[in-house]
Structure 1
Amino acid sequence: MDRHKDSRELNVELIEKIYDVIRYVNPIVKSDDDQITDFKINESDTHCYSFWQSNEVCKNCISMRALNENKVTMKFEYSCGKLFMVTAVPEKENNRVLELIRDVSNDHLLDNIDGLSEDLIIDKIVKLNKEIITDPLTGLYNRRFLDERMPFEIAKAYANKLSISVIMGDIDHFKDVNDNYGHVVGDQVIKEFSDLLMLAIRDYDDWIVRFGGEEFLIFLFAIDKENLIKRIEKIRENVESHVFCSDEYAIKVTASFGIYTNSEIKKDDLDKGLQFIHFADEALYLAKENGRNRCELYKLDGIN
């Protein structure tokens, strides 16, 4: 060995021996910025998720999490019959992440763990990756998913000149439900409410987050203002007419919604996800102030 060989070069050689894929990615736009190793699934596709032979963004994106939290993050991922260990190392100053991926399918890492079979362990890994971004009560996405997904959605809307809409929804006087019927029944009302919300969204482009308690955030991609208002108004009507917990009680509740829509995402908007949520929340507050059981649309020059 050449003793004068650059130590950084030695480190790269060592890393290349440990990992099958070493690459830089931009987790906001989901691009494979620089593939250091030779291994590629598809030479013509620069999306980082193409490695997993998928046509959609990873819902449990640890590289976005690593960038948000500015710390090294790891996970196991099962794809195409193989088990991978993924490590994400953030470079905050460059707005990118170094991804280190190793195929550990043949490393016997899963042998005889607590007496479980390999299939059961893989199933647990898949479920864990889902649980990390999922609200346990409703099955909707959680705040972590929101933090990791919103920057990408705004960047996608900007790149494709499409609109985004953020809606905050809240069950009116929900405290009365808990006080009168108990928290178990209250949880059932929240679960049924979330099911009604799900009827209003499309499978891939749209998603819903349980924002906290009885408050929910709905994200709708590429929908015009007129149809947006009709869709949210329909949700409100469905909630108003629905009988909750009908097997044991006949509970009626209403809901209020604050709507923010942006039909022309500009470059300056790329880091304004929190502001968009704030706008929707302001509209929700006005809906509450104006009597509840209503929808309000936020406008930059004032709220309808």
Structure 2
Amino acid sequence: MRALNENRSFSKLESLDNKLYMVIAAPLVLKDKTYVLELIKDVTEDTLFYTYKDKTIEELRDEVNRLNMLVIKDELTNVFNSRYLNEHLPVLLENLSSPEFSLSIAMADIDKFKSINDTYGHLCGDYIIKEFAKLLDSYISELGGWTCRYGGDEFICVVENIPEDELYNKLNNFKETLLRTNFVFDEKKINLSCSFGVCYLCNENINIADALNLVDSKLYNSKKTRNTIS
């Protein structure tokens, strides 16, 4: 999916039966249609990967998972990154053709984040983003969903197959907790609020660009008053 979305080649490691494989995915255009060609090579005996030779299958699988996670996790916050979003959200949107499947999506933005950076510095800004992401992800995980850092202080939350108002209610609880939380950096107490744009999708035919534009427009409305969910 990543090779198709970004129109370039990617590689990753996979393990199977105590062997290590390099998987290379590359876009291929035939008669004006783009396909993805996957090449698989056994690299178990390659010098570059020789340190993995004596590991058990469980150790090998854990190491491969760790390496693959580095590609899809945001370095600062340890939630997923936009690459993960671009790979997985289109697949979930395709599932909306099933009447039994629904998707709740939220876009979050920290209110007045620029003033925090300007007042306390970028190290404090990074700390705030990290702590905000940790708290937000803990709430979304309770619903069985996942969170990704979309860019800067913006985050996307995605949850499958929950009642229409459940994500809204959970985010409202999160928002109240956030207001009560004192974030301490360099002995300074900082209080936050945030805004959300939320959409509920069911029996929809929508692509990732339109879905993100939808929650972004709702977030834009929330930012007019701040500390709001639209």
TM-score range for the pair, normalised by the shorter chain length: 0.7 to 0.9
Partner residue of 1:167 out of 102, 106, 129: 106
Partner residue of 1:228 out of 163, 167, 172: 167
Q: Does the 8 A contact of 2:124 with 2:185 survive in 1?
A: no
CA deviations over 1:194-247 (Å, ceiling 9, x no partner): 011112223795211111111111111111112121111111111111111267
Q: For the residues of structure 1 that align with 2:128 and 2:64, how far apart are their CA atoms?
A: 30
What TM-score does the superposition give when structure 2 sets the normalisation length?
Answer: 0.85
**What is aligned with 1:138?**
77
**What is aligned with 1:65?**
2
- Residue 70 of structure 1 and its aligned partner are, at CA, apart by 2.5
Counting helix residues as a fraction of each chain, which structure ranks higher? Answer: 2
Q: Does the 8 A contact of 1:189 with 1:245 survive in 2?
A: no
Q: Does the 8 A contact of 2:12 with 2:22 survive in 1?
A: yes
Partner residue of 1:155 out of 84, 91, 94: 94
Q: For the residues of structure 2 that align with 1:232 and 1:80, how far apart are their CA atoms?
A: 43
Residue 43 of structure 2 corresponds to residue 104 of structure 1? yes
- Counting only pairs closer than 5 Å after superposition, residues 188-199 of structure 1 correspond to structure 2 as 188-199=127-138
Q: For the residues of structure 2 that align with 1:75 and 1:176, how far apart are their CA atoms?
A: 40
CA deviations over 1:230-286 (Å, ceiling 9, x no partner): 111111111111111267221111011111111223xx32xx111111111111111
Quick one: structure 1 residues 173 and 238, their matched pair in 2 at CA, closer, same or farther if it must change by over 3 Å?
Answer: same
- Residue 151 of structure 1 and its aligned partner are, at CA, apart by 0.9
Quick one: structure 1 residues 273 and 219, their matched pair in 2 at CA, closer, same or farther if it must change by over 3 Å?
Answer: same
- Residue 94 of structure 1 and its aligned partner are, at CA, apart by 5.0
- Residue 180 of structure 1 and its aligned partner are, at CA, apart by 1.5
Quick one: structure 1 residues 71 and 187, their matched pair in 2 at CA, closer, same or farther if it must change by over 3 Å?
Answer: closer
- Residue 77 of structure 1 and its aligned partner are, at CA, apart by 2.5
Q: Does the 8 A contact of 1:188 with 1:245 survive in 2?
A: no
Quick one: structure 1 residues 234 and 262, their matched pair in 2 at CA, closer, same or farther if it must change by over 3 Å?
Answer: same
Q: What SS does structure 1 have at the residue aligned with 2:148?
A: strand
**What is aligned with 2:213?**
278
Quick one: structure 1 residues 192 and 153, their matched pair in 2 at CA, closer, same or farther if it must change by over 3 Å?
Answer: same
Larger radius of gyration: 1
Partner residue of 1:237 out of 145, 162, 176: 176
- Residue 154 of structure 1 and its aligned partner are, at CA, apart by 1.0
Q: Does the 8 A contact of 1:185 with 1:245 survive in 2?
A: no
Counterpart residue identity of residue 145, structure 1: Y
Q: Does the 8 A contact of 2:102 with 2:160 survive in 1?
A: yes
Q: For the residues of structure 2 that align with 1:204 and 1:73, how far apart are their CA atoms?
A: 32
**What is aligned with 1:76?**
13
Q: Does the 8 A contact of 2:3 with 2:25 survive in 1?
A: yes
Q: What SS does structure 1 have at the residue aligned with 2:168?
A: helix
- Counting only pairs closer than 5 Å after superposition, residues 45-60 of structure 1 correspond to structure 2 as none
Structure 1's unaligned 5+ residue stretches are 1-63, 112-116, 297-304
Q: Does the 8 A contact of 1:196 with 1:238 survive in 2?
A: no
Q: For the residues of structure 1 that align with 2:143 and 2:96, how far apart are their CA atoms?
A: 15
Q: What SS does structure 2 have at the residue aligned with 1:260?
A: strand
Structure 2's unaligned 5+ residue stretches are none
Q: Does the 8 A contact of 2:98 with 2:203 survive in 1?
A: no
Quick one: structure 1 residues 204 and 129, their matched pair in 2 at CA, closer, same or farther if it must change by over 3 Å?
Answer: farther
Residue 230 of structure 2 corresponds to residue 293 of structure 1? no
Q: For the residues of structure 2 that align with 1:275 and 1:179, how far apart are their CA atoms?
A: 33
Q: Does the 8 A contact of 2:184 with 2:190 survive in 1?
A: yes
| Structure with larger RCO (C-alpha < 8 A, sep 6+) | 2
Aligned residues: 222
Residue 25 of structure 2 corresponds to residue 88 of structure 1? yes
Partner residue of 1:252 out of 191, 197, 220: 191
Q: For the residues of structure 2 that align with 1:228 and 1:125, how far apart are their CA atoms?
A: 33
